[in-house]
Amino acid sequence: MPGGNLRIVLPAVATRTLIANEVGLCNLPIASPVAFDCYEESRDAGAFILVDRYSNETAAAGIIQFALRRATNIQWEPLAADKTARAQLKRQRPCIVWFTGPRPESQQLPV
């Protein structure tokens, strides 16, 4: 159909592996918080690649559809180490880095 969009919906099949160029849907748990947007809202902040740490080759690429839902009954727990003790332990100086606004046109990444 000229000018139209073709959308093919395949049935979901559970699997443990994918071969090259196969498409899969997964929940990806991570060890640290990561800032992101949904792919529909931002192609730049909603896409990612996974790189093999040993070979430095791309292992996978993906898009983020949504954040996993988390419980609403999470409560703050007192910390065993305060900010000063943690900084000494990790040999780091605590600070905040705040990025605002769009990138200047000269710094836009290619899509």
CA distance 53 to 4: 42
pLDDT of 103 > 70? The answer is no
Is 45 a domain residue? Answer: yes
Of 70, 77, 79, the residue nearest 33 (C-alpha): 70
Q: Phi and psi for 49 in degrees, rounded to 5?
A: -130, 150
* Domain ranges, residue 42: 26-68
pLDDT of 38 > 50? The answer is yes
Is 95 a domain residue? Answer: no
Residue with tokens 């996974």, as numbered in its chain: 50
The verdict on pTM exceeding 0.75 is: no
Of 64, 63, 60, 52, the residue nearest 22 (C-alpha): 60
Segment 58-92, tens digit of pLDDT? 888 898 888 776 656 666 777 777 888 888 888 88
Is 59 a domain residue? Answer: yes
Structurally, the chain folds into a number of domains equal to 1
Averaged pLDDT for residues 38-50: 89
Please report which confidence band the pLDDT of residue 1 belongs to, taking 50, 70 and 90 as the band edges. Answer: very low
Is 74 a domain residue? Answer: no
